[in-house]
Structures are given as C-alpha cells and as structure tokens.
Chains A and B, each alone.
Chain A
Amino acid sequence: MSFQGFIIQLLSGLSVGMVIFLIAVGLSIIFGTLGVLNLSHGSLYMLGAYLCFWLSSTLSQFSGSFWWALFLAPVAVALFGGLMEVLLLRRIYEMEHLVQFLLTFALILIIGDLCKLGWGVDYHMVETPWPLNGPFILGQFIFPRYNIFLILSGPAIFVGLWSLIRYTRLGRVIRAVTYSREMASALGVNVPMVYTGVFMLGCGLAGLGGALVAPMSAVMPGMDMVVLVDCFIIVVIGGLGSLTGAFLGSIIFGLVHAFGILVAPRLAIAFGFILMIVVLIIRPWGLMGKPE
C-alpha cells in the first residue's frame, strides 16, 4: 500500500471511530453512573439523525440551517431522554439487570416505530453543509472536508467531557455519585437530579452523533441496531464506564475496520466481535476499566 493510501485509510478509520465515540461515550457514562445498560441508546442516535434531517429541511430557507439542526437535534434528544429517565427508568434502578434490559429493549421498538411513523421507511439524505462540502486538498492528497471536521470534533468533545468530569464542581458531584450513591446522597447531593442530568448528557451525545452522521450516510430505519452493537464492542474494549476507555476503544475500532477491510473484506463484520472476545478473555474489565 502506498503511503498516501495508508493515510487515507487511517483518516477514514478515524472519522468512523470519532462519530461512534460520541455515541459509545454516552452509553458508557450512563452505565458508569446509573448502572443501566441502555439498549435504546442506538435508537436515540437514530432519533438525532432523523431530527437533523427534519430540522435542516424545514429550516432550509434560512442560511446555516444545518448548523441550527446540529444544535437543536441533540438538545431535543436530551430532553426526550430526560423524559424517559423520569417517567420510566427511575422506577427500575433497584430491580435486576434483566428488567432494565427488557424496558430499554421495549424503548428500541417504540422509538424505532415512532421514527417510521414520523418519517416513513424510505431513506433520507442530508446535504453536506457549506463550508464543509468539498474536498480538502493538500498537494496530491485529497480527502473530504467533512470527515476532517468529524475527526477534529471527536477529540474536542473528549477533552471537553474529560475536563468537565475532572475539574468542575459538577464533575466532582458526578464522580461522587458514581463512587457511592448512598454516601453522596447522605452528604446532601440530589442523586436523582444527577442521574437525570447524566442520562440527558449521554442521550444528547447520542443525538449529536446522529446529527453528525446524517450528511455522511443515509438516514433510515435499522441504523439504530447497527450502531448499538458497535457501541457494545467499543465499551467492552475500553471498559464499561470509562471515558478514556471509550475514546481509545473507538479509535481501535475505527482503525481495525478501516484496515481489516483491506485484508479480509468478507470477514470485516466479524472483526469487531473478534476484538471484543479477545479483550474480554484477556482483560474482562476492558483496557481502561477497573476489575470488579
């Protein structure tokens, strides 16, 4: 492979990895703090993509409609997630994992069908917005500008989240609740509020991921399950509940896909799972997670 081909493969792997990072990190922090493996996380991503499509086409007479959609879609998904948490999830924290699984699975069905009801079963496209529509040219090297934007936005979000958790008061509260719910509660932290907040944050990130994906690939039913399974792989590789782990896992996942497809194109779908199995056997708690 030429050096140029290598760089292009590397960049496309990274851009896939960075989008999926946004979704996986939400899943991971929700699990870390609330202890709930939210199966409907992929559906929230899909909802974000549909909302981005819908908003950018409804607002198309205004300039910069995509950017409005990119801002409003995650906010709407976060609000929807907040509603889900307050109305449903809150009732089942004390119950066994199986019940959480069932409830969040039911939400996959409900959200999936609501999207079908709202936007039909056909696929939709979102136009790549100015100034990101077009190639990035550097000498002989050509790459889509939008993908460069994605590669940059991933680390930006990661650094933002990391500093939020590490350095702010809110971050300390979240860490306290994650460490010991009872103790934090005894010290006067409003635990249910933190739960709702973290859940909304995670959902908002999934919505953002969906909105960012919309110009790159078709928005259609079924995109929720694909991304959900990929997210599982990433959080298992990185360690459930770990922010850095999700970031690392996403990069590894993106690169394995990008290069694996060159080596054995027909087995590409299985690479992620093989990676996951290897990690689970060597280090069941993931690369950056802590042993139980």
Chain B
Amino acid sequence: MMELTLKRESSRIIAGLIVSFGLFAILPLFIGEGYVSLVNEMLILALAACALNLMLGFTGMVSFGPAGLYAVGAYTTALILIYTKIPFGIALIAGPVMAGLVSIVVGWFCVRLTQVYFALLTLAFSQIIHTIIFQWYGFTRGDDGIVEIPVPAFFHSITNYYYFSLVVVTICLCLLWRIVNSPFGKTLQAIRENPHRTEFVGIHVRRYRLSVFVLSGFFLGMAGSLYCGFNKNVFPNYADMMKSTEMLVVCLLGGIHTFLGPVVGSVVYMVLDKVITLYTEYWPLVLGLVIVGLVIFLSGGIVGFISEKIAVARQRDTG
C-alpha cells in the first residue's frame, strides 16, 4: 500500500517535471529576452537551492556556507576559461568536480560536528574561500572579479544559453530526485529524524553525512559554473554570507521538507525581488518583513502550506 502511494506520487512528480519542462521550453516564444534572462537566473538559483536542500531538508544539516562551494564552481570554470584553451563543456564540468573535491576536505572537518557548531564551521569555511578569492590578486584578480569570460559564440544569445541551462538544471534535478528517493536518500531522512537510532541500526552516520555534503557541494558547484557561463563575469561576493542566506531563504520560502519546495521558493524569491525593487530601493526591508510573516504564520513554507491544505481537504472528502 505504502509502496503503491509512493509509486503513484513518484509518477505524478515525473509527469509534473515533464510538463513544467515543456512549459519552460516554450516560454521564450512568449516573453522578451530580459525576462528569459530572469527565468534563467531563477533556474540556476533553484538548482543551487535544491542542492542545499539535500542537506538542509533531507538530512537535517543546517549549513550557513553553501555559497563557498557555489563560488568554487563558478571560479573554477571562469579560471579555466580565461587561462587555458580547454573547451567550454569541460570547463563547465570541472566546476562541480572541483567543488566536490573541495567539499571532501571541508566536509571531513564539518561533519565531525552537529547542529549550531556544524553551521558555524560551514560558515567559517565559506568565509575562508571568500578570503582566498578576495586576496589572491595574482590568480583570481581579487575584488575586481573576472570579467568578460570567453564563452562559445553560440552562448552569446540569451535564449540559447537559456535552453542549455534548462537542460542541465532538469538533468540535475532528476538526479537529485533519484538520490532523495533511493535507499541512500531514505537513510538520510532517517538520520534527519533521529541520528542516534540510525546509528544503532548499524549505519555509519558520519560517513553518510560526509557523502551528502559532497553530493550537495557537487550540485552547488554545478549551479555556480552554470551561473558563470550565464553572467560571463564572476565576483568574490558569490562566496559571501549574503549569497548563502539567499539560498537558505529560498529553501525556507518554498518549504524544506518537499522536493520541489526550493524551486517554488526561487520563483517566489525572484518575483518578489524584481517587483519590489521596481518600487523601492529598500528591498531588504520588505524581504525581511516577508520572512517574519512567513515564519510566524506559515512555517512549513509555501509548498508545505499548500500540501497541508490539500491533505486536509482530501481527508474531508474521504471522511
């Protein structure tokens, strides 16, 4: 019975993914280039948030420093493209691979700790990455950032790059979906619910935590690389605390205990960002008020709230 509902849910999600992929694919026919670029940015943010949510929502590891790994991805791609003649495709893959390697080192330290201490240690590491990027003028060009990164001529068109990132993001989301619903993913959720019991069952909790840290780092790096190709410039502030909190807010806005929550979160976040900045320069103030409202009144996030309402309605129908 349980398996049946799971299968039904899973096929529904896959159908949803296909439909939304189709919708996103025909989107550029109806909207201007400015908006296409906006949607592109949103897709990349959604990928970063989903990668973070693998730790945050599915394993219960609150990381304050996802932006560090995101920046590793972005800078790896950028540095390869400006210093070498290696083709774009390989440079793009090198980003997440490098981020994954860095997360092995960072994660090895971080997963020894839990809760607040884990969060603070991830913050410390991302600040160190920020410092390295910021200070290493000879290599990373410091706070000037790396500008005018050479990308293939095909990607000078915003629409072309949009289709490219749509494909990449969809593939990554499918992979993440596979991970979450694999036995490995279920173990992660068991760790989230009760690490002690999971340990007693014979699961090496720390090793699982490290694996998920690296996986999440890989996809964060992917988002970073993708953004590097999109923006064609990278700056040290990709690694700063504001960027990390942006990702966290996106996850929480959409709801962290659902797979697609962060995607919805990124849509809402981008729309809020663009609409509010039209009217006022005090966007942080409004965002802050929105978050306060969200926390006090709707702590399960938007998707959590809606699915709760649906569940209640359905119960009323059957009962």
Contacts and interface: CB of A to CB of B under 8 A. Distances in A.
Contacts of A225: 241
B62 A232 contact: no
A105 B294 CA distance: 13
A164 B294 CA distance: 38
A236 B119 CA distance: 11
A279 to B, nearest CB: 10
Interface stretch (B145-153, B224-232, B281-289): B281-289
A110 B295 contact: no
A284 B128 contact: no
B69 interface: no
Contacts of B245: 105
B289 A106 contact: yes
Contacts of B256: 98
Nearest to B128: A273
Contacts of B287: 106, 109
A102 B249 contact: yes
Contact of A236 (B109, B117, B132): B117
A173 B248 CA distance: 36
Interface in B268-309: 282, 284-285, 287-292, 294-296, 299
A98 B62 contact: yes
Given A107-B288, A269-B135, A102 B252 contact: yes
A162 B109 CA distance: 34
B116 A277 contact: no
The prevalent SS among residues of A at the interface is: helix
B131 interface: yes
What range describes how many residues of B lie at the interface?
35 or more
Contacts of A117: 282, 285
A59 interface: no
Contacts of A107: 288, 292
A215 B135 CA distance: 29
B128 A270 contact: yes
B160 to A, nearest CB: 36
Contacts of B292: 88, 103, 106-107, 110
Interface string A248-292: 000000000000000000110110011011001100110000000
A105 B291 contact: yes
A101 B120 contact: no
B135 A266 contact: yes
A277 B299 contact: no
Contacts of A116: 282
A112 interface: yes
Nearest to B240: A225
Contacts of B295: 92, 99, 102-103, 106
A229 interface: yes
Interface string A94-127: 0101110111011111101110110000000000
A280 B290 CA distance: 35
A117 B299 CA distance: 29
Contacts of A110: 284-285, 288-289, 292
B86 to A, nearest CB: 29
Given A91-B296, A103-B295, A284-B117, A113 B124 contact: no
Contacts of A246: none
A37 interface: yes
Interface in A129-186: none
A236 B118 CA distance: 11
B109 A281 contact: yes
24 contacts: A92-B296, A95-B299, A97-B62, A97-B115, A98-B62, A101-B62, A102-B252, A103-B291, A106-B292, A110-B292, A113-B282, A113-B288, A232-B123, A236-B117, A270-B128, A270-B135, A273-B127, A276-B120, A277-B121, A277-B125, A280-B109, A280-B120, A280-B121, A284-B112
Top-6 shortest CB links A-B: A109-B288, A113-B285, A106-B291, A110-B288, A109-B284, A106-B288
Interface of B: 56, 62, 109, 112-113, 115-117, 119-121, 123-125, 127-128, 131-132, 134-135, 241, 245, 248-249, 252, 256, 282, 284-285, 287-292, 294-296, 299
